[in-house]
Amino acid sequence: MKVAITGFGRIGKMFLKAAVQQGALGRDFDVVAINTRSAVDMHVHMFKYDSNYGRFSGTVEARNGNFVLNDHEIKWIRENDPLKLPWKELGIDLVLESTGEFTKREDAEKHLASGAGRVLISAPAKVDATIVPGVNDHKFEPSMKVLSLASCTTNCLAPVLKVLHNKFHIEHGFLSTIHAYTNDQRIADASHDDWRRARAGAMNIIPTTTGAAKAIGDVIPELAGKMDGIAFRVPVSVGSINDVVCTVQKATTASEVNSELKRASQEELKGILSYTEEPLVSRDIVGTTYSSIVDGSLTRVIEKLVKVSSWYDNEFGYANRLVDFVRKLSKL
């Protein structure tokens, strides 16, 4: 299967690195093109030297104006208009849309008009289906052409809620995500549509919005309209934690909640959900590949009120789910 990446920022780069780490590149699918706005030389340098994850262990270079990864040459394109992209000429089966700009269905469909077989958006979007691996994989049908893998935060939240709802029946819930800063913030105070995100990201705790909780209804329909949430962007570059508080139908205990989450992490959600009771901090989970790492030592319960905290690498964990899903598509 031939894949093109459009948008080679944090998600695009982490997807490619995760594909290498999983051994999927060249075996399950090939990345044959990367489309982004800036020069290949700069991206080669940023791929090789990463502030969050250190130096890339393989080889990467610019050659003939293209991006060469472990001696595999990937065509480099700099085109802002999706309708002008050479997807038909290159035989592209799937576009990973990770620009963050083409999240509306009508915009994503421009990749189809350019000849791509399918589009996978690495952000929340109103599409044929929003899939969170391990939670609603059954919703995918091969006829679907425009798909979303939701967000890193939804991928962390949904497995936890699925387990809680199946066992304890959630009535309502509220999410607080304590999230690393991202490129949609300012390094120093500067203008932004969100006045709080306009403030220096490495100096402030910044309350802002998250669509992750409300998006749960797209993934677990029984919870539609029952969840809400808020984000607090904090001065770390990667590594986040979700704190979700739910009311459930019957009184329970922290021991019962942890037991069920631990069981699921070893059975149906193995590889997606993890469970720990070690006294971790955010840096400890950087580079992990799980969607969600439940911190059992932080679980609290008062009768029907349940509080669960789960860590996530908001870059690499999510990138691994993208690779997992693309590998699944390659087997169709």
Relative to beta strand 227-234, strand 206-208 is antiparallel
β-bridge mates for residue 77, sequence order: 35
Q: Are 179 and 233 in contact (CB under 8 A)?
A: yes
Q: Are 207 and 194 in contact (CB under 8 A)?
A: no
The alpha carbons of the chain give a radius of gyration, in whole angstroms, of 20
Residue from 328, 286, 332, 326 nearest 120 by CA: 326
- Catalytic: which of 32, 120, 150, 152? 152
Distance between CA atoms of residues 127 and 130, nearest Å: 7
| 282: its two tokens | 């955010």
Residue ranges in the chain assigned as alpha helix (H): 10-22, 40-48, 87-90, 105-113, 152-168, 212-219, 254-266, 316-330
Helix (H, G, I), strand (E, B) or coil at 305: strand
Q: Is 152 labeled as catalytic in the residue annotation? A: yes
- Give catalytic residue positions: 152
